[in-house]
Amino acid sequence: MKKYLAGLAAALMLGAATTVAQATDLVVYHGWSSPAEVAALNVLKTGLEARGHTWTDLAIPHDSGASVSLINLVTGGNPPNVFMEADPGFYRDLATQGLDFDLTQWFTDNHVTENLASSVVKSITVDGKIVKVPTALHIDGMVYYNMDVAKQAGVDPAAWTSLDAMFADFDKIKAAGFIPLAIGGQQWQVGYLTHTLAAAVGGAELYNGLYSETPDKAVLDSPAMHDLLTWIRRWQQAADEGSPNRDWNVTTNMVITGKALMQIHGDWMKGEWRAAGKEAGKDFGCVNIPGTKGLVVTTDAWGLLGGVDDAHKQAELDFAAVVTDPNVQADFAAAKGSSPLRTDAPKDKLDICSATVLKALENPGGQFQNPHNTASTDWLNSTWDVMFKYWSEPNMTADDAIAQLKDAFDTILG
């Protein structure tokens, strides 16, 4: 990264000579390629073109070394104008080179900040400055359920007020011939389930103790941590035989096709339901985890390089204006399966799932940033390793898991 940044200033100057003739053409770098993602990007592209600019797509598919490709583009003298990147460390490195683009005043002047959830504002702010343009909001753990299956099983997920109440209905659901809870048993899915449940059952003290920039080792010995591990074990025991290594979207399809009642996962599940021609409130329902004390929010965001000249800088700000427009946000979210970032998005464009999300985000104390935006990468990866081992080995005790987490803490953060 340091080598990348060392060449960035020179790359921008090299790029200026070749791009000035097309002052309003923006090269947009991203890794989105699914039908829902492409449809959402087209909403933004249409909005940008309506402002007189052009969009040159530079798409690198998921899991194909996208970060390396971005570095190569910049150091090779062809930097993109706009890129999708949420890692705060990336923006801190830009700042050390004097290449960060402070958008704080622009967000204030355009009344954007006041219409964003607190977790979103925190996510786009790095060291006191807004340097990212938020584009998509997702909740890392929600209950999506098949309404027809719920009716046949005689249960109402919307009526559950606690996890105990949810699990109490599992025998009834099984007796009706359905899997109560579809789970994909992959490391990252278990990792997401862990931080989702940390917020849901432990609230701020447990979640921040585990995933803040300065984790607290003492939280590992707390009753809340033992409670979290107890719930993880109950979740694992509730998983069906086909759970190990099953992809999340395959798991979602089990619910869509009526094999299982529900899935608790990131609310990007909605994209799969919509792609299957299903309608929220008619075919599927969506509620927050019963009795939840807090929600974990993922915010996808764009970075701007500040323009190689004034024309490009203005075009990038126009891009930001399009992305954060409340009407565009509503259309973008509908296409992607996310929820609008703007709390003032038109209510008539919200489905019941997005309405549920925005209602919950009215409580600033009950929302937390995705740990990828806060926690040390090494520490987060270690929690994933330990929790997946705990998940995969039914005889491993909660005390065993806590001991391994303590060892990892001492090694990485000690």
14 shares its domain with 102? yes
Average pLDDT of the residues in 241-252: 95
- Both 221 and 198 in a single domain? yes
pLDDT average, residue stretch 226-253? 96
Number of domains in the chain: 2
pTM: 0.85
- Whether residues 11 and 130 share a domain: the answer is yes
The confidence band for 319, taking pLDDT boundaries of 50, 70 and 90, is very high
Q: Using an 8 Å Cβ cutoff, are 404 and 386 in contact? A: yes
Q: Mean pLDDT in the chain?
A: 90
Residue 97 banded pLDDT, cuts 50, 70, 90: confident
Q: What was the pLDDT predicted at 80? A: 85
| Same-domain check for residues 261 and 404 | yes
Q: Which domain holds residue 349?
A: 2-139+299-369
Per the model's pLDDT, the better-predicted residue between 13 and 240 turns out to be 240
Write down the pLDDT at residue 66.
Answer: 53
Across 197-201, average pLDDT: 97
Residues 127 and 224 in one domain: no
Q: Examine the domain organization and report whether 290 and 303 are in the same domain.
A: no
Residue 75: pLDDT band (50, 70, 90) is low
Can you tell me the mean pLDDT for 370-376?
92
Instruction: Using alpha carbons, list the distances in angstroms from residue 309 to 4, 57, 206, 302, 320.
Output: 21, 20, 47, 19, 17
CATH of the domain at 174: 3.40.190.10
What confidence category does residue 335 fall into, taking pLDDT thresholds of 50, 70 and 90? confident
Return the pLDDT at 194: 98
Which of these, 41, 29, 57, lies nearest to 338 by C-alpha position? Answer: 41
Q: Which pLDDT score, from 0 to 100, does residue 88 have?
A: 87
pLDDT at 74: 61
Q: Give every strand in the sheet of 260-265, ordered side by side.
A: 179-182, 260-265, 142-146, 284-288
Which band of pLDDT confidence, cut at 50, 70 and 90, is reported for residue 63?
low
Of 63-77, 239-253, 281-295, least confident by mean pLDDT is: 63-77
- Residue 394's pLDDT band (boundaries 50, 70, 90)? very high
Tokens of 302: 């764009």
* Residue 17 pLDDT: 36
The answer to whether residues 180 and 314 belong to one domain is no
Instruction: Kindly state whether residues 98 and 244 are assigned to the same domain.
Output: no
CA-based R_g, the chain, Å: 22
- Band of the pLDDT at 68, cuts 50, 70, 90? low
The whole-number pLDDT of residue 22 equals 45
Average pLDDT over residues 100-119: 95
Q: Judge if 117 and 152 occupy the same domain.
A: no
Task: Indicate if the pLDDT at residue 85 is higher than 70.
Answer: yes
Residues in the chain: 414
Pairing of strands 142-146, 284-288: antiparallel
Q: For residues 10 and 98, which has the higher predicted lDDT (pLDDT)?
A: 98
The mean per-residue pLDDT over the stretch 287-303 comes to 96
Question: Token pair for residue 409?
Answer: 């803490």
Q: How many CB atoms lie within 10 A of CB 20?
A: 12
Tell me the pLDDT tens digit for each residue of 263-281.
999 999 998 998 899 999 9
User: Which of 368, 409, 403, 392 lies closest to 191 in space, CA to CA?
Assistant: 392
Looking at per-residue pLDDT, the higher value among 401 and 76 belongs to 401
Residues 53, 64, single domain; the answer is yes
Please indicate, yes or no, whether residues 55 and 201 belong to a single structural domain of this protein. Answer: no
* Rounded average pLDDT over 1-6: 44
Decide if pLDDT at 251 tops 50: yes
Residues 160 and 149 both lie in one domain: yes
